[in-house]
Amino acid sequence: MKGLLKNLGLILILIGAVILVACSFTGNVNNNTILGCSILLMIIGMVGYIAINKKITD
């Protein structure tokens, strides 16, 4: 369980990146809702990755 929790931030970052790549390939780059959600996932993933790994190592 700790392994999945430790990698949760990276998983969120990858999901956000996949959404951005999919939007780029489909040409749906004018939909701000999808783009905003994907960048929000990436930011939450980065903050979560830092916070979770800091707590696990302490």
3-58 pLDDT, tens per residue?
Answer: 777 888 999 999 999 999 999 999 888 889 999 999 999 999 999 999 988 887 65
Domain range for 6: 2-57
pLDDT (0 to 100) of residue 37: 94
pLDDT (0 to 100) of residue 16: 94
For the chain, the domain total comes to 1
Count CB neighbours of 49 within 10 A: 18
Whole-prediction pTM value?
0.84
Distance CA 47, CA 36 (A): 16
pLDDT (0 to 100) of residue 57: 67
pLDDT (0 to 100) of residue 28: 84
pLDDT (0 to 100) of residue 46: 94
Distance CA 8, CA 57 (A): 15
DSSP-derived letter for residue 29 is: T
